Amino acid sequence: MKTPPLLLSASLLFWGWQTGLLHWAVLMAILLEGSRLVKWRLALSPSDFNRVSDLCTVLVVGMFIYHYASQRSPNAIVVLVQWVPLALLPLLMAQVYSTSERIDVSALFLVFRRKKAEEEKSQQRTINLTYPYFGLCILSASAANLKTPWFYGGLLFLSAWALWSVRSRRFSPVMWLILLGFIGFAGYVGHVGLHGLQKTLENRALGWFSSLTRETTDPYRARTAIGDVGTLKLSDRILFRVDMDPSHGDILLREASYTTYHRDAWFARHSRFKALEPETDGSTWRILPEREGGRTISVSAPLKGGKGMLKLPNGTFKIAQLPVLKMAMNQLGDLKVIEGPGLINYQIHFRPGASIDSPPNEADLVVPEKERPSTEKIMGSLELSSKSPRGVLKILGAFFQENFKYSLILNPGKHESTPIGDFLLHTRSGHCEYFATATVLLLRAAGVPTRYATGYAVQEFSELENRFIVRSRHAHAWALVYVDGAWRDFDTTPVSWITQEAEAASPLEPLYDLLSWCMFKFSSWRWSEREGGISKHMVWLLIPLILLLAKRLSSRNRVRRREKKEEMNGRQKSRPGMDSEFYLIEKKLTELGYARHPGETLSDWVRRIEGESPADATPVLQSILSLHYRYRFDPKGITSAERCALKSTVNAWLDESQASLS
């Protein structure tokens, strides 16, 4: 079947518009439509069609070789698809200018040419190339991938043009166009949704894969997302667990600290790890000289390959119950396990003010040359040069809390030469790495020694595990400032970051948490040092334990819902004034057509009715309402005589007022 007039020309022009080959498309459209104007035709034999088809094959192969040689990348295939309509044009022109409106399929495929001699003429298969060529033009246009609504609009228009001639005559053209428009709209919404679903699945899969292959924190270099564009993707995966007193509030656990900022990354220059020796029990590591008291927390964390950085609060002076073979510490106070088990459960003793970090040096005051213009502007506006270190901290804390906001959406900078400069002077929106880096640079510019710290914020308590859990999204960055002879944590990130990241959690998070808890229990059993006893059979006890837990949670929820329902019913029944007879008047007035308007108080409602009804019908409503209000809301209530008066006046009103109101 041939295409409608001018459809091929329109599809060629659409192809040329999308691919940037419009000059070729115009010439090709003129050559094809010229066949409708000339009367002569060529008597081409099947062998002639075979030769033209072979020529097209040579053109396609030649185009591929040319594009691949010039680009040297897999993108050459995409470019080739855009040029295919030009390469196959000779075969289509051979059909439209020949005496035959169809060509033998054997001209397209060599396998059919070999079988042709064995087949009779009646069995020969022929095809009209106009519609396949039309589809090829659409496919080649899509390879340009301009990602604009115009492509979808052009595709819908050309498809409607092609289908118009074969539409069912049982339906009116208007109905046909309406249905086509609905299908086109549904297709657009569907493909946008599928594209979003694909991006979501890719991000999830990439995050899952990276979590499996992720190396431990690098104590020498911290690559940040400063300057990146897009939305920062966070994971709900539980990384480790913390046992501590909830009354102590949120704490920061540091993994590593850095001194030098260069090209949106932090480095620990001249950092060297030195081996530590445990005490005689082999599991206690004293970091500072004899100290007692302070606070204690316990951390349960996996070690990939038996190696990893320890999560420690500032002021750590002793680590207990850590049976690892080798451990080292650098001068920045970072501790690294070099050889240990796959899961560690260690106890940390710390006291605010204690410090295992090396004293400050010149590197803790360096501000990169490119960052100085923006930091000097902020320094001048806040007048930090004349302030004491404590005063500088107070001013900067208020400055970031009042003038900046936390955001995971990373927009490109447009004003300053560096992302931090743009953050400080224009966007004033970013994630914790922006706040921590900007804080470090401003404090250094004010003469306060400062370092950059990375780790995690402990803030989420799990009812399931009865302990704190730390997820991947709880990763954090902050400043370490040297004040009053000790290194102290200084976090200027707005507290809203906790809420924002929690709101982005997956709805399946409770299920993932249950699975993570089961894996944690299995790992605890696997790496337990105890031999024999129940620990041997812990893995077999997990299955009935999980079933029992699920049953108990389910029954507990049912009991809570039932108790809550009974409590609500009891509250409604026990509320003072709920048995007031005035509600009978309210019901009666509603039946007579005087319904309350939304938001209208009882007193306004009564005044409106008195204005609409006969004057002698409701003169006592206000006095009844006043007595009802006292009975319903006055903590002192009403006397028994007033209670009887309320009941009698309501009954009298109900008996006397119905006729006059209706």
pLDDT the model gives residue 414: 61
Confidence grade of residue 299 (pLDDT, cut at 50, 70, 90): very high
Residue 404 to residues 433, 435, 443, Cα–Cα distance (Å):
13, 9, 17
**Range 371-396 average pLDDT:** 91
pLDDT per position as a tens digit, 410-438: 776 665 678 899 899 988 888 899 999 99
Return the percentage of the chain with pLDDT > 70, whole number.
84
* CB contact at 8 A, 303 and 338: no
Nearest to 138 by CA among 84, 93, 79, 91: 84
Q: Span 640-652, mean pLDDT?
A: 85
Q: pTM, whole model, 2 decimals?
A: 0.53
β-strand partners of 42:
98
136 CB-near residues (< 8 Å, 6+ apart): 84, 85, 88
Helix (H, G, I), strand (E, B) or coil at 180: helix
Average pLDDT, the chain: 82
pLDDT of residue 574: 54
Do 189 and 149 touch, CB atoms closer than 8 A? no
Would strands 429-430 and 405-406 be described as parallel, antiparallel, or unpaired? Answer: parallel
Q: What integer is the mean pLDDT of 600-612?
A: 79
Strand ranges (E), 431-492 = 450-458, 460-462, 467-471, 475-483, 486-490
Q: Which of 33-37, 92-96, 255-259, 471-475 has the highest mean pLDDT?
A: 255-259
| DSSP tag of 413 | P
Helices (H) and strands (E) in the chain, counts: 20, 24
pLDDT band at 146 (very low <50, low <70, confident <90, very high): confident
Segment 79-104 shows an average pLDDT of 87
Neighbours of 364 (CB within 10 A): 21
602-612 mean pLDDT:
79
| Res 532: pLDDT | 43
Average pLDDT over residues 221-239: 72
Give the residue with greater pLDDT, 619 vs 374.
374
* pLDDT (average), residues 470-481: 91
Compute CA distances 438 → 185, 259, 267, 492, whole Å. 47, 13, 16, 9
414: nearest Cα among 227, 226, 223: 227
pLDDT, one tens digit per residue, over 387-399 is 899 999 999 999 9
Helix intervals (H) in 117-172: 130-143, 149-164
Averaged pLDDT, 378-407: 91
Residue with the bigger pLDDT between 404 and 218: it is: 404
For 352, list phi and psi in degrees, rounded to 5: -55, 135
Q: What is the pLDDT of residue 541?
A: 59
What's the rounded Cα separation, in Å, for the pair 46 and 349? 91
**Residue with more model confidence, 490 or 586:** 490
CA distance 523 to 521: 5
| Mean pLDDT value across residues 162-175 | 83
Amino acid at 282: G
Higher pLDDT, 506 or 29: 29
- Among residues 332, 339, 360, 143, the alpha carbon closest in space to that of 254 is found at 332
**Which residues contact residue 224 at a Cβ distance below 8 angstroms, ignoring those fewer than 6 apart?**
264, 265, 266, 433, 437, 477
Among the ranges given (36-50, 252-266, 480-494), the one the predictor scored with the smallest mean pLDDT: 36-50
pLDDT at 53 over 80: yes
Copy the structure tokens of residue 554.
Answer: 């389910």
How far is residue 56 CA from its own chain's centroid? 48
Q: Which of 115-124, 212-221, 339-348, 619-628 has the lowest mean pLDDT?
A: 115-124
Per-residue model confidence (pLDDT) at position 403: 92
pLDDT at 261 over 70: yes
DSSP annotation string for 101-124: SSEEGGGT-HHHHHHHTTS-GGG-
